[in-house]
Copies of this chain bind each other. A is one copy, B any other.
Amino acid sequence: MKIDLPKKSDINEWYNQIVEVSGLCDKRYPIQGFNVWTPYGLRVMRNIDGFTREEMEKTGHQEVSFPLLIPESLFAKEAEHIKGFGGEVYWVTHAGEKELDEKLLLRPTSETAMYPMFSLWIRSHADLPLKTFQIVDVFRYETKQTRAFIRIRQIHFFEAHTCHADFEDAEKQIREDIEIAKRIFRKLALPCLINKRPDWDKFAGAHYSIGFDALMPSGRTLQLGSVHQYKTNFSEPYNIKYEAPDGSHKYVHQTTYGMSERLLGAIVLMHGDDSGLILPPEVAPIQIVIVPIIFKGKEKEVMDACQKILKSLKSRFRVHLDDREITPGSKYYDWELKGVPLRIEVGPKDVEKDEMIIVRRDEGKRKSVQIGDINSVSSELQAVDESLYKKAEDVLNNGVRDFKNIDEARIDSGFSGVIRMPWCGSESCGHQAEELLDMSTLGSPIDGGNEAGIEERCAICGGTAKEIIVMARTY
């Protein structure tokens, strides 16, 4: 298969093609929104999961795995939550020939599976904080158009769930989560905005929600993950209490932190080009591919040199020697499509000079270095990473515009990106802006930017501005 569309001409169609031709997934499974993870895609996802596990371990979270199925009665305990998810759950009603006494649902997220157990696990303040996470599949019956990794019905999902003695300790957790997320997104070369979602778009059951929004080259934002403060909204209906040092019994304060295979979708959308994927070195299953340029009579010298290079690199990098009997050009094509960050070419003339050529996937730059010069390989890999991050930062920096009032924003209707305006904070102004601009509200920036608006007037109603409203078209 080939990609037959430049990225710029139709990024969404380009995306739909690239995810399959590069070997990330197969969308031909006969249930809509249920895709097959093919080996290459699964390896990328496992690397991403690896970063997550590493961060979870460093921050004292323990991995658990809860059942997929949830009894209807448990699910229904928190009213907002069932309102938010009830319309999109898959229901198991029968087992074998038998109709079940109680309907079971496939988890759309795991609060209602976990919290009855947390209520058994937590007894005293000594059990707190409880910091857990799991990496499992969740299921949501999306009614909108599906898109690989970004909007699907079986979702590879990460969810951290924590319980704390009080609100402030839960807030501390949220600050930790934000730092964790930043470190993970840096490895994926994905800078993002961090916004506190407006009340009308918070997670079902949350006290407040924070979203990580990356701006894609299409001008739309993609939510990379989210963190939620639940306060005691779930611990009350699920009865998760602890005995405080003074003997009193209190409800725990809870937080969650979620991410999904969307991260992989974001990498594809952000970094890919007309030749295929470009994978940041940290997530690439193959970081370096070695391609021998064979001419008759010089096969042995070239292959020996390639083997030597392979040997010198493989303890430090994920490296692959492509010894297939096809032309070097075909190999370039394949590995460019798969986004391998560095290619090393070795021909007879290079061998004579004891050299190899390093080619960067992102910029196509070629560089001759001594065979065995591992430091150059390492710094070229790092250069790919930094350049990808820099480009993504440019997309973000060039894609955010500030407006003083909504008319200015409407006039600039050719603009596709993130819009920021001073805001009185009212829901009605938010909805009005959404309608006038045909955008969604991402919320208000959590890390600065609010103060700037305080002296100004709300861009919509002209009342006193209290914060910045951040808006965009979203995936």
Contacts and interface: CB of A to CB of B under 8 A. Distances in A.
A71 B30 CA distance: 8
B95 A92 contact: no
A39 interface: yes
Contacts of A29: 66-67, 113, 117
A65 B90 contact: no
A300 interface: no
Interface string A84-115: 00111111111111100000101000000100
A90 B86 contact: no
A96 B104 CA distance: 12
A124 interface: no
Interface string A54-84: 0000000011111111010010000000000
Given A89-B95, A96-B141, A141-B95, A67 B117 contact: no
Contact of A68 (B66, B137, B143): B137
26 contacts: A26-B121, A31-B67, A31-B69, A31-B71, A34-B67, A35-B67, A36-B65, A36-B117, A37-B64, A37-B65, A39-B62, A42-B63, A42-B64, A42-B65, A67-B154, A68-B106, A86-B96, A88-B95, A90-B95, A91-B94, A91-B95, A92-B106, A93-B94, A95-B141, A96-B143, A98-B141
Contact of A120 (B28, B65, B88): B28
A38 interface: yes
Interface residues of A, number: 50
Nearest to A95: B141
Identify which of A64, A95, A96, A106 gathers the most chain B CB atoms within 10 Å of its CB. Answer: A95
A372 interface: no
Given A42-B64, A91-B92, 11 more contacts: A30-B116, A36-B64, A36-B117, A39-B132, A42-B65, A68-B68, A68-B139, A89-B95, A89-B96, A90-B92, A90-B95
Nearest to A91: B94
B88 A91 contact: no
Contacts of A117: 26, 28-29, 36
A66 B74 CA distance: 28
B91 A34 contact: no
A412 to B, nearest CB: 39
A84 to B, nearest CB: 12
Given A28-B120, A30-B71, A42-B63, A91 B89 contact: no
A96 B92 contact: no
A106 to B, nearest CB: 7
Interface string A332-360: 00000000000000000000000000000
A92 to B, nearest CB: 5
Interface string A388-403: 0000000000000000
Interface string A149-190: 000001010000000000000000000000000000000000
A39 B64 contact: yes
Contacts of A37: 64-66
